[in-house]
């Protein structure tokens, strides 16, 4: 990973991770 990739991850990836985590929890409960 280069520095730009790390910055992109920090800026953009957390929203995706939070969304995926919520979806997985919802699936487990259903």
Question: For residue range 1-30, what is the model confidence (pLDDT) as tens digits?
Answer: 688 888 877 777 676 677 777 788 888 887
Q: CA 19, CA 2: separation in Å to the nearest integer?
A: 25
Q: Check residue 27 and give its pLDDT.
A: 83
Four-point Cα dihedral 8, 11, 15, 21, nearest 10: 70
In the block, tokens 């985590």 appear at 21
pLDDT at 19: 75
pLDDT of residue 1: 63
Angle among Cα 6, 9, 10 to the nearest 5 degrees reads 90
Measured between alpha carbons, how far is 14 from 10 in angstroms, rounded to an integer? Answer: 7
pLDDT of residue 3: 84
- Residue 16 is predicted with a pLDDT of 67
């Amino acid at each position: 990973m280069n520095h730009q990739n790390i910055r992109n991850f920090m800026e953009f990836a957390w929203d995706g991770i939070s969304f995926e985590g919520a979806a997985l929890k919802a699936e487990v409960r259903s």
